[in-house]
Chains A and B, each alone.
Chain A
Amino acid sequence: MEICIGAIRTKLREPRDQASEAAIVDRCRKQDFEAFGVLVDAYQNRVYGFVRRMVHNPDEAADITQEVFIRAFQNFGRFDGRSHVRTWLFRIAYHLCIDRSRKSSRMVQEVGLYDPSDGEAVDVPDSRWQPEQLAFDEELMSVVEKGIASMSEKLRSVLILHDKEDMSYDEIAQTLGVPVGTIKSRLFLARAHLQEVLKLYLEGGV
């Protein structure tokens, strides 16, 4: 069964090849501001996407993403180049997310008395373009996001890095600092959890 969400997947610009990335990394080590800007342009959206799904709050995610790049810029001299820059950036992001969630779990959560979505403008899909399909896709995306949010951080991080960011098992193992076997079993559990959440949609078909 093939389910496809209507959104077109944007391929983000990464440095073209290994050689050009190595040259950029060398310049970044010398604190070249312009070269670091190229890296930021290449990875900012991907890192932000990962962090937003890890911490839920978009504003907090934006702050953490900025911190990721500031730390990377400050510590580029320590980057040994054995792993991919992407792996290194996601590792920083993952650790910052974990730190932030530990801190916030110690703090008392403020709970709003009203639903923030109340009174907000709703995007009405263009009726000329399969409105039912669009509505279904939007709902499905929302359920997938909620399903991801309801997982533990361990499962969520593996699922996003593998299925959303197309990282290999080895890269994820390097990023999270756990064995490949553990990554595989976490990925299996994460997908199984999402399958359970999406049971109604998957059984109904499209």
Chain B
Amino acid sequence: MTHHDNSQINDIDDRLNNVGQQTVKNLVQGLPADTVSLAWRSSLNEQLLAVSAQKQRKRRLQWILRPAAGLSLATLCAIVFIVQPYYRHASVKPDFRVENAILNDHHNSALLNEVSSAGLNSNEVISDANSQDLDDDLWSDSDAQSL
């Protein structure tokens, strides 16, 4: 605060204390005090009681709603953070059964190919017993004579 500000404050204080200002102050102080009526007071009481009852109702409702809201929030959190990741994990987990079956089949077929030479696949391989029977059926006596 500067010297100029201080002098201004002193100046306004002096001015407020001069006779004319103090006379007006006394006049305003002497104005009669206002009073409210009893009807006004009783009306205020009614309104305050209504406000108080409303507040109590609100508080009671909050007493019920707050735990319910907390419980709902906890359930929601449980679903979001515990149950849902489990489901997501389970559904995302790859199932290689079909691929494995195909791969195994291919592997077997490659092995068979190596054993039974090219041109034959596993379905075309006929057991020895069956082939003997086939040979017997197909050759006749005339065929033997012609040799």
Binding site for B on A (CB under 8 A): 1-5, 7, 9-10, 12, 31, 33, 36-37, 40, 44-46, 48-49, 52, 62, 65-66, 69-70, 73-74, 140-141, 144-145, 148, 159-160, 163-164, 166, 181, 184-185, 187-188, 191-192, 194-195, 198, 202
A2 to B33, CA, bound (A): 20
Q: Are A48 and B34 in contact, with the CB atoms below 8 A?
A: yes
Q: Which residues of B contact A (CB under 8 A)?
A: 9, 12-13, 15-16, 19-21, 23-36, 40-41, 43-45, 47-49, 51-52, 55
Is A45 in contact with B13, judged by CB distance below 8 angstroms?
no
A173 smallest CB distance to B (angstroms): 14
Main secondary structure of the interface of B (DSSP, over half): helix
B15 touching A188, Cβ below 8 Å: yes
CB nearest to B37 among chain A residues: A62
Q: Are A73 and B51 in contact (CB under 8 A)?
A: yes
- B51–A144 contact, CB under 8 A? no
Q: Is the interface of A mostly helix, strand, loop or mixed?
A: helix
Residues of A within 8 A of B28 (CB): 144, 148, 159-160, 163-164, 194
Contact indicator B12/A9 (Cβ below 8 Å): no
Q: Mind listing 8 A-B residue pairs with CB under 8 Å?
A: A5-B31, A31-B52, A45-B33, A66-B44, A73-B48, A191-B20, A192-B21, A194-B28
Which single residue of chain A is at the shortest CB-CB distance from B48?
A73
Central interface residue in A5, A9, A49, A163, by most chain B CB within 10 Å: A163
In contact, B51 and A7 (Cβ under 8 angstroms): no
Closest residue of chain B to A7 (Cβ to Cβ) is B32
- B27 (CB) vs chain A CBs: closest residue: A144
Question: How many Å from the CB of B41 to the closest CB on chain A?
Answer: 7
- Besides A141-B31, A191-B25, 4 other A-B contacts (C-beta < 8 A): A2-B26, A33-B48, A49-B34, A185-B12
Docked pose: A46 CA to B32 CA in angstroms: 11
